């Protein structure tokens, strides 16, 4: 291994986990911890350089050190401009790769979460939750504008968030493009973090076939029915050609994660069928593709 390669391998991967209270930061930090990152929550920003140096100097640390730090409005002396100044200093070092992961949700979603959990908002101890949300959003705008990754968790369950983060931030991906293939129902909203979305509602719907209605796109009978649509083969050929053309271009650009979503009316038949078929095709051709069927994960 060359000196340059060895240096790159030892570079510390530092992720700053921040965003609005109630938007999923704690869950995200836990996911990264499960992926092997050293995770520290609510760290005063003045201590960040010391922690970085400690991790890099630890002789027992693995060859690909990785650190996830949670910082938000609860943090002592929280000042967004000072945080960005500290991160700029760290970004200038040649032994660290720094990324900001910002978690956000709509004001309505955040208010609902605080109401359901009966927690007080950290910036609304003596006032309405909505006041704290608005105040925090204004304060966090400066950091949001500098974020490398934005995650809107409105309408996103913990399982979907875990799936997304797990595949996007795997520590040992070897430079390969990690691909998530998902299915969803249009009436329940588009996946907010999808890169490519395909609408398959024009295909014949198994929902209206008595013997198929209770099944899903995981069942061969449903898959055969969807594939029997006269338009299916042409559609499949065109989107396959498009995706296989795009993948090496994305990889060349340096993209490490791609989410492709297929949507239909109920998210249980046609979209699942296409997602399954696409994942199988990608894996067969040497890509790393994982599956997530959003509506099948939701218990009725």
Q: Is 75 annotated as a binding residue?
A: yes
Q: Is 30 annotated as a binding residue?
A: no
The full set of domains in the chain, from first to last, is 3-157 (3.40.50.300), 178-297 (no CATH)
pLDDT band at 1 (very low <50, low <70, confident <90, very high): very low
Q: Is 210 annotated as a binding residue?
A: no
pLDDT band at 221 (very low <50, low <70, confident <90, very high): very high
pLDDT band at 235 (very low <50, low <70, confident <90, very high): very high
pLDDT number for residue 3: 40
Q: Is 72 annotated as a binding residue?
A: yes
| Higher pLDDT among residues 299 and 25, named by residue | 25
The whole-angstrom separation of Cα 239 and Cα 251 is 18
Q: Is 22 annotated as a binding residue?
A: yes
pLDDT number for residue 299: 43
Q: Is 21 annotated as a binding residue?
A: yes
Q: Is 20 annotated as a binding residue?
A: yes
pLDDT in tens, 260-277: 999 999 999 999 999 999
Q: Is 19 annotated as a binding residue?
A: yes
pLDDT band at 59 (very low <50, low <70, confident <90, very high): low
Q: Is 94 annotated as a binding residue?
A: no
pLDDT in tens, 136-191: 898 889 999 988 888 888 877 777 777 778 777 765 545 567 788 999 999 988 88
pLDDT band at 241 (very low <50, low <70, confident <90, very high): very high
pLDDT number for residue 52: 84
Most confident range (mean pLDDT) of 71-75, 169-173, 229-233 is: 229-233
Q: Is 24 annotated as a binding residue?
A: yes
Q: Is 192 annotated as a binding residue?
A: no
Q: Is 73 annotated as a binding residue?
A: yes
pLDDT over threshold 50, residue 22 = yes
Q: Can you give the pTM of this predicted structure? A: 0.61
**Assigned token pair, 115:** 């109401």
pLDDT band at 5 (very low <50, low <70, confident <90, very high): very low
């Amino acid at each position: 291994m060359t000196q340059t390669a060895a240096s790159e391998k030892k570079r510390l991967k530092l992720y700053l986990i921040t965003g609005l209270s109630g938007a999923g930061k704690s869950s995200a930090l836990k996911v990264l911890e499960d992926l092997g990152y050293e995770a520290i929550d609510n760290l005063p920003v003045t201590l960040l350089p010391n922690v970085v140096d400690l991790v890099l100097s630890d002789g027992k640390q693995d060859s690909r050190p990785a650190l996830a730090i949670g910082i938000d409005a609860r943090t002592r002396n929280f000042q967004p401009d000072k945080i960005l100044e500290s991160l700029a200093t760290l970004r200038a070092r040649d032994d660290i790769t720094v990324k900001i992961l910002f978690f956000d949700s709509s004001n309505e979603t955040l208010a609902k979460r605080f109401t359901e959990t009966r927690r007080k908002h950290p910036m609304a101890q003596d006032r309405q939750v909505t006041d704290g949300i608005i105040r925090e959003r204004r304060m966090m705008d400066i950091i949001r504008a500098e974020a490398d990754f934005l995650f809107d968790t409105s309408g996103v369950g913990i399982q979907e968030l875990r799936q997304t983060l797990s595949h996007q931030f795997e520590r040992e991906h070897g430079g390969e493009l990690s691909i998530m293939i998902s299915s969803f129902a249009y009436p329940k909203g588009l996946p907010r973090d999808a890169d490519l979305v395909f609408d398959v509602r024009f295909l014949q719907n198994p929902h209206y076939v008595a013997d198929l209605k209770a099944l899903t796109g995981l069942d061969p009978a449903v898959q055969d029915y969807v594939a029997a649509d006269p338009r299916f083969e042409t559609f499949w050929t065109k989107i396959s050609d498009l995706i296989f053309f795009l993948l090496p271009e994305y990889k060349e650009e340096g993209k490490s994660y791609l989410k492709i979503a297929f949507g239909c009316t109920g998210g249980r038949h046609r979209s699942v069928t296409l997602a399954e078929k696409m994942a199988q095709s990608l894996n067969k051709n040497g890509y790393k593709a994982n599956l997530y069927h959003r509506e099948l994960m939701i218990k009725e």
